[in-house]
Amino acid sequence: MPIAHPATDARIESLLARMTVEEKVGQLGVFADMVRPFAPDVNPEVNVSNAAQVLEQVRAGQVGCLFNGVGAAQGREIQRVAVEESRLGIPVLLAADVIHGMRTVFPIPLGEAASFEPQLAERTARATAVEATAAGLHWTYAPAVDIARDQRWGRGAEGAGEDTFLGCAFAAARVRGFQGEDLRAADSLLATPKHFVAYGAVAGGMDYNYVEIAEGTLHDVHLPPFKAAVDAGALTVMTAFNDINGVPASANHAMLTGVLRDAWGFPGLVVSDYTADMELVAHGYAEDARDATRRAFLAGMDMSMQSGFYAEHLPGLVESGEVPVALLDEAVRRVLSVKSAIGLLDDPYRSLDPAREVDTSQRAAHEALARDAARRSIVLLKNEGDVLPVSRQARIALIGPFARDVDNIEGCWTLFGDKSRYVTLEAGLRAALPEGAALDVVDGCALEAPLDGGIESAVAAARGADVVLLAVGEPQRYSGEAQSRTRIVLPAAQQALAEAVAATGTPVVVLLRNGRALALEGAVRDAQAILVTWFLGSQTGHAVADVVFGEYSPSGRLPVSFPHDSGQQPFFYNHPRTGRPETPEMTEFKARWREYPNTALYPFGHGLGYGRIEYGATRVDAPALEWDGSLQVRATVANTGARAAEEVVQLYVHDRVGSRVRPVRELKGFRKLRLQPGESREVVFTLSRAQLAFTGADGRFAAEPGAFDVWIAPSSVAGEPARFELLASR
């Protein structure tokens, strides 16, 4: 699957023929962009040089890519040095971690996945690409496509949650969005599915920890989102920090070469995560820097980020013959082919237009998109007594440390967001209320500590209100890289605030802020209504106001299961069946905990709106699915409520008997519908054998004939199944 055409091939071959080994190795080097750095660094400081040193390296042909700098004008200067002052004039790739927005910040990826609208993620990724390329970037280290089945892991916030089918849909959509239709366009941003692979499976949910994983789980759960991203046209992949059954992912020949290149035909380049080659020594997988370089390179890692290991050791390894020069050429060819594919060899100043950088003509459209994406990401978990939507005439107390907070709006992975445009909860609610409306705003406590008199003022405000909007949750630095938790609960000071406010008896609507599923406790769990608002980005306040006042009926569904208790982790809905399935009666000697059932408090797929949605029975058009045939599954979905609503109709299957124990249910389709009051619609999904395949006991990925259950349902635990038989091939 070549990515360059013959004329470009000739140009790349002619460059290769003229390059010294050092210049070839130079193309494989990725270093921090100290020419145009930004304030908060997200990586540990390793080998950081100053701007003059970086430009000198560029001049010497020692840099393939600079990352995490920003700015079009200085980007032109970097490129001018590369093109005019380096011997071969090869332009540099300019990359950054632009995960869920550039200047305009969209919801964290986990939150956006709750929309169950991949096409929405495609649009926010497109807008992000437009802004990032205007700021002098070619390449983003996104999307993260790691499947997170353990909510203690903080990086679940960066992905699409616990489910592989949903993860694949979002992975592909985000790649399409970042890259757009034409890779050579000035606003096309190269995407990087990461972290390859099984990073979400770190033991105990502790970041950077080891991964012990069954082959079937690796292939059926963690690899598919990468395949989906590659099939959607991703030309770069980033390795992971973790090992996989003892072999570090960044030196894993079976994965980087066997799966990615040989089995999938991936034509692009593999970049290491930050110092991941260096870390092979700490893993105890390589003896020293030279050994680490050799192992990572021979496994299939093309570009080395920040360690400087390739620059230092690859030339010697080529000289000694331990690394064949043909393999070095292959890696360089891949890097040059990617540069060529985005038009950089033809126009080194692509995406480096200072006029575009200051152009704000797209801003209003991007803000409108951010508001819509944010409100579509909100999940309504419960709404007792229809306390939501709130009347604009009600006396409202907005209480909690997030009420006027502006530092916990963007979420864990925003480097370049324009903070001056962030809308707080208070600002959003005020903008939606008439002049003089009764809105009392009280912090009540700080994020992690009580405030003097905080509870007293909160209680007084609650007493004087018809309804409390309680803005509590996790500080944003609780999620993201290196932010693993043992207990996925609210900070104690916030829980105490919630208890005191609830004791007033005024109805409470929790506005939960969170980068993962949480184990809700006490007054937060028992509040009349709960809205999961994640970290929603620039337009947070407006989006929440839209939902609170009923301008928008919530349509998000959980992409992660909310457990009863932290100790249930890892908890995910599609777990294998046990030999002693628990019973609703909590019978002894069944698979459950002493304290809790083996269920979620709020399961994957759950979410309510302001309509009342009812599902008819799931029906199959025929009792059997022929081996090469297809089968239609249908159900009627009706809105019997008084308000219009959007419903996420979900298709699940369960293979009743397999050569390996099968999950209790697996998502195989979803569709979001808008239903007017009184409207009903028949929803039809088509199943074929491909959707039923898994890695069987013989190691082959195939469907197995036999009986299946199928549900069309509003969540991963709802509904009654229909049954069909997959017939063996004749």
Positions touching ligand NOJ (CB under 6 A) are 42-43, 68, 97, 141, 194, 273-274, 481
The residues that bridge with 710 in the sheet, in sequence order, are 653, 722
> Shortest distance, CB of residue 330 to ligand NOJ, whole angstroms?
24
> Shortest distance, CB of residue 80 to ligand NOJ, whole angstroms?
25
What distances in angstroms separate CA 215 from CA 244, 254, 571, 662, one per listed residue? 10, 12, 20, 14
> Shortest distance, CB of residue 173 to ligand NOJ, whole angstroms?
19
Q: Is the Cβ of residue 68 or residue 476 nearer to ligand NOJ in the bound state?
A: 68
> Shortest distance, CB of residue 478 to ligand NOJ, whole angstroms?
17
Shortest-Cβ-distance residue relative to ligand NOJ? 141
Q: Is the Cβ of residue 144 or residue 493 nearer to ligand NOJ in the bound state?
A: 144
Rg (alpha carbons) of the chain, rounded to whole number: 26
Q: Are strands 706-713 and 722-726 parallel, antiparallel or unpaired?
A: antiparallel
Q: Is the Cβ of residue 242 or residue 568 nearer to ligand NOJ in the bound state?
A: 242
Tokens of 110: 């986990």
Residue with tokens 């390894």: 317
Q: Mark 630-644 as b/e (b = at least 16 C-beta within 10 Å).
A: ebebbbebbbebebb
> Shortest distance, CB of residue 42 to ligand NOJ, whole angstroms?
5
Q: Is the Cβ of residue 484 or residue 574 nearer to ligand NOJ in the bound state?
A: 484
> Shortest distance, CB of residue 558 to ligand NOJ, whole angstroms?
24
Coil/strand/helix, residue 501: helix
The residues that bridge with 613 in the sheet, in sequence order, are 639
Q: Residue 573 region, left (φ>0) first, then alpha (ψ -120 to 50), else beta? A: alpha
Q: Is the Cβ of residue 178 or residue 610 nearer to ligand NOJ in the bound state?
A: 178
d(CA 519, CA 512) in angstroms, rounded, equals 12
> Shortest distance, CB of residue 43 to ligand NOJ, whole angstroms?
5
- Residue 631 phi, psi (nearest 5): -135, 135
Query: How many other C-beta atoms can be found within 10 angstroms of the C-beta atom of residue 275?
Result: 21
Coil/strand/helix, residue 425: helix
Q: Is the Cβ of residue 274 or residue 694 nearer to ligand NOJ in the bound state?
A: 274
Q: Is the Cβ of residue 95 or residue 717 nearer to ligand NOJ in the bound state?
A: 95
> Shortest distance, CB of residue 514 to ligand NOJ, whole angstroms?
20
- Decide if 273 is catalytic: yes
> Shortest distance, CB of residue 155 to ligand NOJ, whole angstroms?
8
Catalytic residue among 273, 302, 353, 443: 273
d(CA 601, CA 518) in angstroms, rounded, equals 10
Q: Which helix (H) or strand (E) holds 129?
A: helix 118-134
Q: Is the Cβ of residue 273 or residue 357 nearer to ligand NOJ in the bound state?
A: 273
d(CA 397, CA 356) in angstroms, rounded, equals 43
Q: What share of the chain is helix, strand, coil (3-state, %, to 5)?
A: 35, 20, 50
User: What secondary structure does DSSP assign to 21-41, as a single string?
Assistant: HHHHHHHTEEEE--SSB-S--
Q: Is the Cβ of residue 280 or residue 469 nearer to ligand NOJ in the bound state?
A: 280
d(CA 185, CA 133) in angstroms, rounded, equals 10
d(CA 171, CA 179) in angstroms, rounded, equals 12
> Shortest distance, CB of residue 471 to ligand NOJ, whole angstroms?
29
Residue 248 preceded by cis peptide, ω within 30: no
- Please check whether residue 32 is in contact with residue 93, taking contact to mean a CB–CB distance below 8 angstroms: no
Q: Is the Cβ of residue 131 or residue 279 nearer to ligand NOJ in the bound state?
A: 279
d(CA 607, CA 647) in angstroms, rounded, equals 9
Per residue, what are the HEC states of 427-478?
HHHHHHCCCCCCEEEECCECCCCECCCHHHHHHHHHHCCCEEEEEEECCHHH
What distances in angstroms separate CA 427 from CA 538, 540, 565, 616, one per listed residue? 12, 10, 34, 42
What distances in angstroms separate CA 539 from CA 106, 418, 426, 664, 713, one per listed residue? 8, 11, 12, 38, 31
Q: Which residues are catalytic?
A: 273
